[in-house]
Amino acid sequence: MPDHAPAARALWLRAPGEPEIRDVPPAAPGPGEVLVRTSYSGVSRGTEALVFRGGVPPGQRETMRAPFQEGDFPGPVKYGYLNVGVVEDGPADLLGRTVFCLYPHQTRYVVPASAVTVVPPDVPPERAVLAGTVETAVNALWDAAPLVGDRIAVVGGGMVGCVVAAVLAGLPGARVQLVDPLRSRSAVADALGVGFATPDDADGDCDLVLHTSATSEGLSRSLELLADEGEVVDLSWYGDRPVTLPLGEGFHPRRLTIRSSQVGTVSPRRARKGFAGRLAVAFRLLADDRFDALVTSTGTFDELPVTLPRVLTGEPPGLLHRVGYGGRS
């Protein structure tokens, strides 16, 4: 290994609820690899909160692994997947380029060149950290296949729900409503160009409901909002929490449907596009500055051991927490 290989630091959970920063052995890229200096990473409040509290079920620990995760659930583990940085070493066509990678919170890292996606010039690096979540929404909408003029509710105003609503806002003639108990989400809905309601006040008679709240109550309310023969597409990941539903009521006579959407598997209708195709669509969408409304808090990498517990327990509640690296190793 070259003597000049730069040092790095990474965020780990030594155990559930116990974050710490660790030194990482210096690494230099080999053939077909890149060295990336991180500019920003994003904290995914839903999935990372599940990992933070140790809520990944034993039977799903392999499925839940992030692409460049180190360690195992429940810990010690290095986890995360929203990372934007600059290529410092590697193939000539990537040198100096800003790239997105599904990498944890780490100051520098080496990955195969095929694992990074160049961020288009019309997407600021600060916004590009949303790419992984927008890609999730793209896949969900490929699964849901909404139609022009549909009446649609998005139940759950977290990161994924807000991104889904933002994308649906461009559907011609559609009625799109973001549904969440937090009335403060109405400001985000306004910025995204969609309607807002609390669960009690939400409009019913929906052709389609996309559920993202990861609660039994949210999924039950999603069923109640459907028109006859309507469909709920469930994007939630519940981890080790059981889910109960009122299937003894109108579910069967009204011919309602619940279907899952899983980001790790591309919708068969769009399988030929794969992960790269989803990301390409995500970056085209991210040229829209409406998505800036989803970054509700910021901080630095050095602060993460202190700020992460507050961010992931929702105190105060927010959407994306963007982490800045400030050029440090």
Q: Where are the domains of the chain?
A: 8-130+286-324, 136-268
| pLDDT for position 128 | 98
The mean per-residue pLDDT over the stretch 236-249 comes to 84
How confident is residue 272, by pLDDT bands cut at 50, 70 and 90?
A: low
Q: What is the share, in percent, of the chain residues with pLDDT greater than 70?
A: 94
pLDDT at 328: 46
Q: Does domain 136-268 correspond to CATH entry 3.30.420.40?
A: no
Q: What pLDDT is recorded for position 242?
A: 85
Interval 252-278 mean pLDDT:
76
Q: What is the pLDDT of residues 1-33, one digit of tens each?
A: 445 677 899 999 999 999 999 999 988 999 999
Q: Does residue 321 or residue 277 have the better pLDDT?
A: 321
Domain 8-130+286-324 has CATH 3.30.365.10: no
Encode pLDDT of 176-211 as tens digits. Answer: 999 999 999 999 999 999 999 999 999 999 999 999
Q: What is the token pair recorded at 235?
A: 């994007």
pTM: 0.91
Least confident of 62-71, 91-100, 158-167: 62-71
In the prediction, which pLDDT does 207 show?
A: 98
